[in-house]
Amino acid sequence: MTFEELGIRDDLLRGISELGFENPMPVQEKVIPRLLDGNHDLVGLAQTGTGKTAAFGLPLIQLIDAADHRPQALVLAPTRELCLQIAGDLADFAKYVPELEILPVYGGSSIESQIRALRKGVQIIVATPGRLIDLINRGVVKLESVHTVVLDEADEMLNMGFVDSINDILTHVPEQRKMLMFSATMPKEVARIASTFMHEPEEIVVGTRNEGAKNVRHIYYMVNARDKYLALKRIADNNPSIYAIIFCRTRRDTQEIADKLISDGYNAEALHGDLSQQQRDIVMRKFRDGVISLLVATDVAARGLDVDNLTHVVNYGLPDDTAVYTHRSGRTGRAGKTGVSIAIIHSREKGRLKEIERIIGKKFERKEVPTPEHIIEKQLYNLADRLERVEVNDNEIDRYIPGVAKKLSWLSAEDLLKRILSLEFNRLLDYYKDAPNIDLIDEKPAKKEHRNNADRPRNDHDKDRRTAEKGMARVYVNLGKADGFYAGNLIDMLNKNVHGQRVDVGRIDLLPAYSLFDVRKADAHRVVSALKNLEFFGKRVYSEIADPDRDYASAGKSGRKSKKRQ
């Protein structure tokens, strides 16, 4: 399928081809023909970053009569940033339609300049509700020629309390308008907007309602509430090329976390509603340009910040509304790239996490907070990669080499390498010296279970550890905490070596000399086979389906005397 086959005309095809558009995305394939051919209302449900703007923008431009300089289409967006983003995209699409005028109308900018532009004549208005109502009340905006209204990010407009404003605006638009509503999720309140303002709308769903983006991996770390910031720093340190938005629940938390990160030497900034518009513009420009790599933000402030190459989204606090989590996680894994959505939680948030899993249809992976040793190793290899890839200007540098080489001639190659690494890593080494383990490994058992365990003989408790949950198989591996082997290492090992369908890992028990973990019965032999003859930091890996009657602790680390060889 091509854009030409969807009915897009030549001048628009030329514009989007220069933007790198090749084949339509799923939402565009479904929406564009219906907007070009039909007159009915439409509700489009698709995740953030799936190409919604082009899906409604291309047919919107094509349906405009450029010879008529009155407003013919109206796009409503919840925030100034999203308003500007949409208007900019539409202008890019219409590069070869010179007679078409597109005007962004929003608060925080000169209303006089917007009035002057409106009086010259525009065909498409992209607006935030508050500023548009102000202009309507001044008699500057006339909407009687509008034939199409688009509500973008409808669920967010609802969250921000724009229902009354939307109702007011629509009283100024002809009753026979065409109305389009686009949203990443469809909570009951958004469905109510559709039934109130739209006429028998057709619904188009790309993916599944409230589904998370397919290219996003969802993981969580569980720590004590007091250790959340420490966990955040370790996550950042363990990902040297991180480019992330860190979402906090309140403006105060946002500023406090950003201030701590800046104080600790990270390239970070805060983005929240207490900043002036000029301050927000500066922060967002620095983030888009890569000057800062960590943006600590509230959900509302980050609306309209469209960045395609985010590596991570970090949920410093889980939102109450699953739709908000979907919006957050959908900011990474865009344009065919993969991304990671991280939740840093404490034990009381586990139930909320399960509810999000149920609604988005995705399983969160439990990961251990990176250890200091793992972080330093990761950073060292990243530095080695940078040294390998650095561009060397031989003509300019060669004249300095003899003098520097003479100065450092007393150093061996190993001594020189140690000094280079120490320049970069002394701060990290000092910070992580004697750093504690902050993982909340086990949740507190229920009181009844705790009493039962207290009365149970020790060998029965160990036997329970060797017994799998219902429908699962227990797998033994001869690696434990004494080997530096933790849950994260296990998951990485399985992801890299077990081919075919992804393996779901259940309960994990990490012991000093060995580990036990649950997988589905159907996957057990595949897992054991994949782990055979691997090495973990020089140690040969041995694995088998665990025998619940065997005392692995007293049998030694190898596990090779088991009567159940696999």
Sign of CA dihedral 162, 168, 170, 173: negative
The CA distance from 152 to 556, in Å, is 62
Which residues, 6 or more positions from 496, have their beta carbon under 8 angstroms from its beta carbon?
A: none
User: How many Å apart are CA 67 and CA 449, to the nearest integer?
Assistant: 76
**Which range among 41-55, 235-249, 441-455, 532-546 has the greatest average pLDDT?**
235-249
- Residue 450 pLDDT exceeds 50: no
- Which H or E run includes 102? strand 102-105
Q: Which two tokens stand for residue 105?
A: 């109308």
Q: What is the pLDDT of residues 542-555, one digit of tens each?
A: 999 988 778 777 65
Residue 326 corresponds to which tokens in the numbers above? 């979907």
Q: What is the pLDDT of residue 447?
A: 42
What is the residue-averaged pLDDT of the chain? 82
Across 392-405, average pLDDT: 89
Partners of 343 in the β-ladder:
220, 315
Beta strands in 187-338 (DSSP E): 202-205, 216-222, 244-247, 268-271, 294-297, 312-315
Q: Alpha-carbon distance 464 to 143, whole Å?
A: 71
Structure tokens at 486: 């933790």
Q: Which of 523, 514, 519, 524 is nearest to 545 (CA)?
A: 524
Q: Which residues are paired to 502 by β-bridges?
A: none
User: Given this model, what pLDDT does residue 45 score?
Assistant: 76
Q: What domains appear along the chain, each with residue ranges and CATH number?
A: 10-205 (3.40.50.300), 212-243+309-441 (3.40.50), 447-545 (3.30.70.330)
Asked if 155 contacts 190 with a C-beta cutoff of 8 angstroms, the reply is: yes
| Interval 251-307: pLDDT, tens | 889 999 999 999 888 999 999 888 888 888 899 889 988 899 999 998 877 776 777
C-alpha 142: how far from chain center: 40
Q: Cα(272)–Cα(565) distance, rounded to whole angstroms?
A: 59
Residue 163 has pLDDT above 70, yes or no: yes
Specify the DSSP element, H or E, that contains 150. strand 148-152
Query: At which residue do the structure tokens 């993981």 appear?
Result: 219
Work out whether strand 294-297 and strand 539-540 pair parallel, antiparallel, or are unpaired: unpaired
Closest by CA position to 268, among listed 303, 306, 229, 319: 229
In terms of Cβ atoms closer than 10 Å to its own Cβ (0-12, 13-18, 19+), residue 329 is buried
β-strand partners of 342: 219, 314
Residue 172: predicted pLDDT? 92
pLDDT at 246: 95
With 70 as the cut, is the pLDDT of residue 563 above it?
no
In this structure, the number of other CB atoms found within 10 A of the CB of residue 335 comes to: 12
Burial of 233-259, coded b for 16+ CB within 10 Å and e otherwise, reads bbbbbbbbebbbbbbbbebebbbebbe
Q: How far is CA 119 from the centre of its chain?
A: 42
What are the tens digits of pLDDT across the range 322-370? 878 887 888 887 656 678 999 999 888 888 899 888 888 888 988 889 8
For 39-57, the pLDDT digits (tens) are 778 888 765 566 788 999 9
Average of pLDDT values for 511-536? 88
Statement: residue 453 has pLDDT above 70: no
Q: Is the pTM of this model over 0.85?
A: no
Structure-derived torsion over alpha carbons of residues 187, 193, 195, 196, reported in degrees to the nearest 10: 160
Beta-strand relationship, 515-520 and 472-477? antiparallel
Q: Which of 202-206, 391-395, 519-523 has the lowest mean pLDDT?
A: 202-206
Residue 509 CB contacts under 8 Å (≥ 6 apart), including other chains: 465, 515, 516, 517
